[in-house]
Amino acid sequence: MNLPISLPTLPNIPGLPPIPLPVLPPPFDVLIEFMQTSEFMEFAVELSLKLLVFPGLAFIMLYAMLAVWGERKLHARIHLRIGPYHVGPIFGLFQLVADGIKLLGKEIVTPERSHKFFYHLAPVLIMSLSMITLAFIPFFPVGPGEYWTIYYSEYSLLIILALFSLRPFIMIMAGWASNNKYTMMGAMRAAFQLLAYEVPLMLSMASVVILAGSFDLAKIVESQANMWFIVPCFLGFIVFFISTMAEICRRPLDIIVAEQEIVFGPWTEYTGMEYGLIMMSEYVDVAIASFLTSILFLGGWHGPGLHPLVWLLIKMGILSMFFMIGRSTWPRLRIDQLLDAGWRKLIPLALVQVFIAIVLVYVLKVIVV
């Protein structure tokens, strides 16, 4: 990939001997030689650009600020009241900045009978897990076969699914480590809910994979060029939407963080920036869910006219609003109703969808794989 900017090379001051690089044991000396070539410098700059700017830190911070502002304003508008108003320039835009700064200045409390190491590890893990899943999503085509993604692989959908299934372990760790009855109940509920909605998530992705013919998200988007997958797998879209809402626990299905019953689920004991991490990971999850939904069903970056990235961001913005609107329009399901919906209602729907996909592809040969 050729970048417009000229790359800096190692400075060799004429009068002095060149800087001796350390001599390292066999596996590393090859690495040192590779680091001296200009190709490595090009790769390093591009990777840091991806890590720090687009799918990385800058985008997450900006998206989180907009998401917090949008959600609280939307939530308030539905309540016929004005949300955060005095904090930032455009009617309270900097609300998350104020919350973040306040959380930075808070004291970090460690409950004395809790398992200290795992207690402090859990929020860091939950945040990193959310950020890692962003690494495998292709955002827009850069070249004929090239895509703007941190790590390109043919099985990116499988990796994301694997990362989704890691979430209950971290919540159970947090629930168990903070040694509080309510967090234990929250952890058990997390285990029930996330496992119950893992299977419909997989099955709804399966129907898309059958239509696209490969696990690679980029290929899935390429094959949606003329017809978005929402048309043939509409049932799959519904099942996927509901199960991602359960995975990132948004309102109608958020018995993990049910304020009214168990105080704050596994996150009851966290204060200060640890809670900031948890809140940030919640909004990163909303970003991932809307990216995945738009890539799998709404034809990722396909769209007339504008740059592919702009199309993806538009779709993702609208979808993240849909994820957030549940908080103010639906009361919360009880745990047995929720699990019953997951096991008995979503899975048959997803199976019907997989059957339709198979019929479309292999029997009627409508969609050429």
Partner 1 sequence: MSLKPIERIRTKISCWKPIKDMLNWGRAWSLWWVHYETGCCCPEIMSLVAARFDHERLGAIPFPTLRECDLIIIEGVVTKKMAKRLRMIYDQMPDPKYVIALGDCAITGGFWWDSYSVVQGVDKVVPVDVYVPGCPPRPEQILQGFRLLQKKIMEGK
Partner 2 sequence: MPIRVAWGIQHPMSGHLTLYLDVDGDIVLNTEADVGYTHRGLEKIAEYRNFIQYVPVIERACDFDASNFALGYVRAVEALMGIEVPERAKYLRVIAAELSRIMSHLYAQALLSMTGGFETMTVWSANDRELILDLLERLSGARVTHTYIIPGGVRADIPKGFKEKAYDVLNYLERRIWDYYKMLFQNKTFQDRTMGVGVLSKQDAIELGITGPNLRASGVDFDVRRDDPYEAYDKLDFEVVVEKEGDSYARALVRFYEIAQSIKIIKQALKDLPEGPIRCKTPPMLPRGETYTRIESGRGELGVYIVGSGTNKPYRLKISAPSFRNLAGLVYLCRDIPMGDIPVIYYSLDILLLDVDR
Cα distances from 291 to residues 49, 130, 204, 296, in angstroms, run 20, 13, 16, 9
The reply on whether position 72 binds partner 1 by CB under 8 A is: yes
Partner touching 77 among partner 1, partner 2, none, CB below 5 to 8 Å by kind: none
Among 43, 272, 328, 358, binds partner 2 (CB under 8 A): 328
Among 87, 195, 358, 367, binds partner 1 (CB under 8 A): 87
The reply on whether position 333 binds partner 2 by CB under 8 A is: yes
User: And the tokens for 204?
Assistant: 């709804």
Q: How far is the CB of 118 from partner 1 (least distance, A)?
A: 10
Cα 205 to Cα 83: distance, rounded to the nearest angstrom: 37
- Write out the chain in H/E/C secondary structure: CCCCCCCCCCCCCCCCCCCCCCCCCHHHHHHHHHHHCHHHHHHHHHHHHHHHCCCCHHHHHHHHHHHHHHHHHHHHHHCCCCCCCCCCCCCCCCHHHHHHHHHHCCCCCCCCCCCHHHHHHHHHHHHHHHHHHHHCCCCCECCCCCECCCCCCCCHHHHHHHHHHCHHHHHHHHHHHCCCHHHHHHHHHHHHHHHHCHHHHHHHHHHHHHHHCCCCHHHHHHCCCCCCCCCCCHHHHHHHHHHHHHHCCCHHHCCCCCCCCCCCHHHCCCCHHHHHHHHHHHHHHHHHHHHHHHHHHCCCCCCCCCCHHHHHHHHHHHHHHHHHHHHHHCCCCCHHHHHHHHHHHHHHHHHHHHHHHHHHHHHCCCCCC
Among 36, 37, 38, 110, binds partner 1 (CB under 8 A): 110
The reply on whether position 78 binds partner 1 by CB under 8 A is: no
Kindly calculate the radius of gyration of the chain based on its CA atoms and give it in whole angstroms.
Answer: 23
Region near partner 1 per CB under 8 A, out of 20-28, 257-265, 288-296, 328-336: 257-265
The reply on whether position 77 binds partner 2 by CB under 8 A is: no
- Which of 343, 326, 323, 298 is CA-nearest to residue 198? 343
Among 10, 58, 78, 108, binds partner 2 (CB under 8 A): 78
- Which of 173, 340, 168, 333 is CA-nearest to residue 255? 333
The reply on whether position 334 binds partner 2 by CB under 8 A is: yes
The 110-149 site mask, x for binding partner 2 (CB under 8 A), equals: ----------------------------------------
Nearest residue (CB) to partner 2, 110 versus 337: 337
Nearest residue (CB) to partner 2, 79 versus 307: 79
The reply on whether position 242 binds partner 2 by CB under 8 A is: no
Partner touching 336 among partner 2, partner 1, none, CB below 5 to 8 Å by kind: partner 2
Among 44, 336, 345, 355, binds partner 2 (CB under 8 A): 336
Region near partner 1 per CB under 8 A, out of 80-88, 158-166, 196-204, 234-242: 80-88
Q: How far is the CB of 259 from partner 2 (least distance, A)?
A: 5
Among 181, 225, 307, 314, binds partner 2 (CB under 8 A): 181
Among 167, 250, 251, 315, binds partner 2 (CB under 8 A): 251
The answer to whether the beta carbons of residues 156 and 216 sit under 8 Å apart is yes
Among 38, 128, 271, 329, binds partner 1 (CB under 8 A): 271
141 alpha-carbon distance from chain centroid: 20
The 182-221 site mask, x for binding partner 2 (CB under 8 A), equals: x--x--xx--------------------------------
The reply on whether position 73 binds partner 2 by CB under 8 A is: no
Total of residues contacting partner 1 (CB under 8 A)? 39
Report the interface residues with partner 1, using CB under 8 A.
72, 76, 79-87, 92, 95, 97-102, 104-110, 116-117, 120, 259, 263-264, 267-272, 275
Report the interface residues with partner 2, using CB under 8 A.
75, 78-81, 181-182, 185, 188-189, 251-252, 254-255, 258-263, 328-337
